[in-house]
Amino acid sequence: MATFLDYARDTARAKCVGVSEEDARKAPLPGSPLMTMCGLISHLRWVEHHWIEVMFLGEEPEGPLTAATDDDPDPEMRTAVDIPLPQLLAEYEEQSARYRLPGGRTRPGLTDRCLAA
């Protein structure tokens, strides 16, 4: 699981290299107005937080997902256009680093808890 998450994180970050702030806020698909690069990075960050910290580790929910409603199911994507892409990437990296030890190993117990869930 840790290898897959690292691959997904690295791929998401690589896709953002060289993207302007303006382009990071554009939704290229008319039918998906929330699908911006900023929105996607925010979504990845907060969904990872929810699954690992809340569902697997039993922490209290926090962040924009706590405000999700039937009328606004993706607040993390909607609000991300107001946050600079470098900040979103830094927060995503900080979030990811919480689960890693030096040398890239996953924190003890995290993998066991994830596999048991």
- Tell me 13's DSSP state: H
- Higher-pLDDT residue of 44 and 117 is 44
Domain annotation covers residue 23: no
- Higher-pLDDT residue of 66 and 109 is 66
Domain annotation covers residue 105: yes
**Containing structural domain, residue 88:** 32-116
Q: How many domains does the chain have?
A: 1
Domain annotation covers residue 22: no
What is the radius of gyration, based on Cα positions, of the chain? 15
Looking at every residue in the chain, the average pLDDT score rounds to: 88
Take residue 7 and report the two structure tokens written for it.
């691959």
Take residue 43 and report the two structure tokens written for it.
């979504």
- What pTM was computed for the model? 0.84
